[in-house]
């Protein structure tokens, strides 16, 4: 084999190895992506049915129902335009309350119920997830001080 042929084979092998590495990284990156959807988007079937995503909005007032096992909680998340029922089994954050912002991660079942594997509540009184705040604005919620008790859409540094 000529030296030139060996060099070309090494270059081809290197490019192939680089391509495989990039493919594996992109595949891992895509499987770890978690997209955010609002109740209105889920009701419009824009959310994926076969993978996890985040649902954000407000916990509807009067919708929290705890089961007898005390770990399973049913509640509804709303963006004031549409409402999605959510089931979560586990310990809820201390700041989880009716009428407050929430982001739940999980997947939607064929029955239209969102089964959350993780529930996140706002971490202080001046914070609301920007995606949830934007969704509420798009849904036409006035975002007044009385309804959210001082929630702002800005991130703290």
Annotated binding site for heme: 123, 127
Cα distances (Å, whole numbers) of residue 101 to 55, 84, 110, 125, 147: 11, 14, 25, 10, 11
Binding-site residues: 123, 127
Contact 83, 55 (CB under 8 A): no
139/43 Cα distance (integer angstroms) = 13
Residue 97: CB atoms within 10 A of its CB come to 15
Cα distances (Å, whole numbers) of residue 55 to 36, 61, 95: 6, 17, 17
Cα distances (Å, whole numbers) of residue 29 to 23, 33, 37: 10, 6, 19
What tokens appear for 106 in the block?
């999980």
């Amino acid at each position: 084999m000529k030296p030139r042929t060996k060099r070309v084979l090494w270059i081809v092998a290197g490019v192939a190895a680089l391509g495989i590495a990039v493919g594996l990284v992109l595949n891992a990156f895509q499987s770890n992506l978690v997209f955010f959807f609002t109740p209105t988007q889920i009701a419009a079937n824009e959310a994926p049915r076969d993978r996890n995503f985040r649902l954000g909005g407000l916990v509807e007032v009067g919708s929290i129902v705890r089961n007898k096992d005390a770990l399973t909680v049913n509640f509804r998340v709303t963006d004031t335009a549409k409402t999605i029922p959510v089931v979560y089994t586990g310990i809820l954050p201390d700041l989880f309350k009716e009428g407050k912002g929430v982001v739940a991660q999980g997947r939607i079942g064929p029955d239209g119920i969102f089964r959350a594997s993780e529930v996140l509540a706002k971490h202080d009184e001046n914070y609301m997830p920007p995606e949830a705040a934007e969704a509420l604005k798009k849904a036409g919620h006035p975002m007044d001080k009385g309804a959210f008790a001082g929630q702002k859409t800005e991130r703290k540094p």
